[in-house]
Structure 1
Amino acid sequence: MAETSDSSLEKPTIIQQAMASCCGAIITSLLVSPLDVIKTRLQAQSNPFPKGKCFVYSSGLMDHICVCENGNSKAWYKKPGNFKGTLDAFVKIIRIEGIKSLWSGLPPTLIMALPNAIIYFTLYDQLHEALKYRLKKGDEYIPVLAGSLSRFSSLTVVSPLELIRTRMQHRKLSYKQLYLCVSTQVAADGWFSLWRGWSSTVLRDIPFSAMYWYNYERFKKMMCKQVGAHEPTFLIAFTSGAASGSIAAVITQPFDVVKTHRQTALWESETLESIIPRLCKVAPACAIMISTYEYGKSFFSHLNEKMNQRP
């Protein structure tokens, strides 16, 4: 990533930011979700999932509550494997089932994860610029505020959709039946019932987002200063993202345990993630997402610069 001007004409537009976040989200999902597929298959092998039990599937962008189907189901997480470990599972799944099996369960979750990532990252940049312009002083706390507000907004938009997706999967409802089910619930419990489980997610994600962006901006600025760069290189963004994501994951681990327990308790699940598996998932996801997003923004900045230089 080369040096860019501070001219607003050369900054990526909001559409370009959305495109960069979308590309980053897709790349992150493709690279990270196989790790969670293998983790889920290993869990199902050691402790088979009964009908109605829930497990957490991560696309690399967000966690999704998935409900197990009946015992005769041919669902991807019920396929036999006889795996001896992570590497053995990776090799056997590719050899026996084909490489596509590493992305089992990803397409349905991307419908929710992509809008979530686009809203989150695009809104963060927009809020960051707006707050930086208005506040002038105390800019070290701007990432905290912008990160918290953008995460709050993305969760609020996507949470009802994720609840509907989970319910549709659990009960095998048609769209007409789903509409009647949701309408009945809203009539009985009000519109806020669509945000059930939202509070436990906010309890974890808002602190995570605040710490993540605060540390990311600090690490990025520090590393850019050390190498004399005016904007982050791919490596700087990758390293800063991994470090800040790891710190935020460790500190917010208790909130993650509460969130997982409260959501999966609805389906009588007793599995709680430990810090090591969470770090193995969060660190690479944060690193890949932010580095590809920054690279995408840099690409559009240079493209805008070239377009502006044309006679």
Structure 2
Amino acid sequence: MPRDTFEDITAVQQMISSCTGAILTSLLVTPFDVVKIRLQSQKVPLVKGKCFLYCNGLMDHLCTCLNGPTNNGYWYKRKVPGHYKGTVDAMMQISRHEGFRSLWSGLPPTLVMAVPATVVYFSCYEHFRNLFGYSAGLSSQNDWWKPIMAGASARTLAVFAISPLEMVRTKIQSEQLKYSQVLTAVQHTVKEGGMVKSLYRGFTPTLLRDVPFSALYWFGYEGMKSIVIKKSPSHNMTSAESFCCGAVSGGIAAVLTLPFDVIKTHRQISIGETRRRGSQEVTSTLRLIIQLYYREGAHALFAGLVPRVVKVAPACAIMISSYEYFKNFFKARNRELRENRMHSA
């Protein structure tokens, strides 16, 4: 079976292939999250200082509720005549009263986080996959661990690289800082709490959710990919095949790792709650699990199952199908250019 090597495309082509999926996913899923937050805020109004999660199905973003038209979170508190009756009604009212573009409010901070995280993630996965000697498809029973380890290692590095950027972005939103004040604020925070604790807040619960998800996702995707390749070894996977494999593997991984996602959500939201109440924040992931279990029962650890799968499955499908499409496109283009140079020589 031919080796699917990372060296077949340049670093720039690898970046383009990676970030295209992140952009497409954000463009397609962001309107649904805007509507979700509007529907939630009309039932339980968000007050100043309280944190909420903005998620486009690909990345989670912690935002702080502030007052005034100049802050980053103003869009979700705009007054719209009437009452939202559901998703479709909310989309129609927002489009009618605020303009169609309002459905993509909050897209810039999503892209700022999603694009670099995706580039780091896919690049690292390709590197580790080739480092482990993995070929295009699970060619033998001894290959099953390679996509698991490659996915887990890539996600760990991606979370490690992006966490400081997430902290800086959250600080800008929560304290309405100008960009010139960010460095001073970060230095002060690090001096008070230490570099590791300050720059990597929520690092452990993020790893507990994302690393198992990544390991399960790539194991499932590569396994289904090997089945497709065995049926027709002479051709690459089509975009439709990549889309379906990505959706199925992403949906299964989302279900299995949902308890970790619930804990991460509680940990992030508690930042704003403790800031408002002046109480002490629970920082232990294990204590959060125990508290949630005894307070609300085991079913609480699987709260939001349907919304998570509905978001994550298509996001994974779009990401991997666009990534595979552009990667194969650049490989074919580079191969054609090499052949032309050989013939002209």
Shared fold per TM-score greater than 0.5: yes
Comparing 34-43 with 281-290, which one deviates more in the overlay? 34-43
Whichever of the two has the greater Rg, that structure is: 2
Match of 2:279 in 1: none
- What 5-or-longer segments of structure 2 have no aligned partner? 275-291, 293-299
TM-score (norm: length of structure 1):
0.91
Residue deviations 1:77-109 (CA, integer Å, cap 9, x gap): 112342111111122222332221111001022
Matched, 1:61 2:58: yes
- Between the aligned partners of 1:18 and 1:127, the Cα distance in structure 2 is 16
Match of 2:17 among 6, 20, 42: 20
Match of 1:293 among 323, 332, 339: 323
For 1:238-249, what aligned pairs fall within 5 Å after superposition?
Answer: 238-249=243-254
Q: Is the 8 A contact 2:134 2:146 kept in 1?
A: no
Comparing 200-209 with 176-185, which one deviates more in the overlay? 176-185
Q: Is the 8 A contact 1:61 1:285 kept in 2?
A: yes
Runs of 4+ with >4 A deviation: 4-10, 71-74, 269-273
Q: Is the 8 A contact 2:68 2:74 kept in 1?
A: no
Matched, 1:265 2:270: yes
- Between the aligned partners of 2:45 and 2:68, the Cα distance in structure 1 is 10
SS at match of 2:54: strand
SS at match of 1:132: coil
| Aligned-residue offset at 1:297 | 0.3
Residue deviations 1:243-271 (CA, integer Å, cap 9, x gap): 01100100001000110001111112999
| Aligned-residue offset at 1:157 | 0.7
Comparing 263-272 with 16-25, which one deviates more in the overlay? 263-272
SS at match of 2:250: helix
- Between the aligned partners of 1:7 and 1:266, the Cα distance in structure 2 is 44
Matched, 1:126 2:127: yes
SS at match of 2:57: coil
| Aligned-residue offset at 1:72 | 7.3
Comparing 8-17 with 80-89, which one deviates more in the overlay? 8-17
Match of 2:296 in 1: none
Residue deviations 1:83-137 (CA, integer Å, cap 9, x gap): 1111111222223322211110010221121100010012111211121169x98
Match of 1:169 in 2: 173
Q: Mark the CA change 1:223 to 1:133 in structure 2 (over 3 Å): closer, same or farther.
A: closer
SS at match of 2:61: strand
- Between the aligned partners of 2:331 and 2:68, the Cα distance in structure 1 is 52
Comparing 184-193 with 60-69, which one deviates more in the overlay? 184-193
Letter in 2 for 1:111: V
Match of 1:78 in 2: 77
Q: Mark the CA change 1:245 to 1:133 in structure 2 (over 3 Å): closer, same or farther.
A: closer
- Between the aligned partners of 2:31 and 2:273, the Cα distance in structure 1 is 26
Letter in 1 for 2:124: L
Q: Mark the CA change 1:8 to 1:250 in structure 2 (over 3 Å): closer, same or farther.
A: closer
TM-score (norm: length of structure 2):
0.83
- Between the aligned partners of 1:290 and 1:7, the Cα distance in structure 2 is 15
Letter in 2 for 1:80: K
- Between the aligned partners of 2:228 and 2:92, the Cα distance in structure 1 is 38
Identity %: 48
Q: Is the 8 A contact 2:6 2:126 kept in 1?
A: no
- What 5-or-longer segments of structure 1 have no aligned partner? none
Match of 2:36 among 34, 39, 42: 39
Q: Is the 8 A contact 2:58 2:312 kept in 1?
A: no
SS at match of 1:56: strand
Q: Is the 8 A contact 1:45 1:80 kept in 2?
A: no
- Between the aligned partners of 1:210 and 1:5, the Cα distance in structure 2 is 24
Q: Which has the higher contact order (CA 8 A, sep 6+)?
A: 1
Q: Mark the CA change 1:80 to 1:256 in structure 2 (over 3 Å): closer, same or farther.
A: same
SS at match of 2:144: helix
- Between the aligned partners of 1:303 and 1:54, the Cα distance in structure 2 is 47
| Aligned-residue offset at 1:8 | 5.6
Letter in 2 for 1:24: G
Letter in 2 for 1:138: N
Match of 2:184 in 1: 180
- Between the aligned partners of 1:127 and 1:262, the Cα distance in structure 2 is 31
Residue deviations 1:200-256 (CA, integer Å, cap 9, x gap): 111100000000000011112213334555321101110011001100100001000
Match of 1:202 in 2: 207
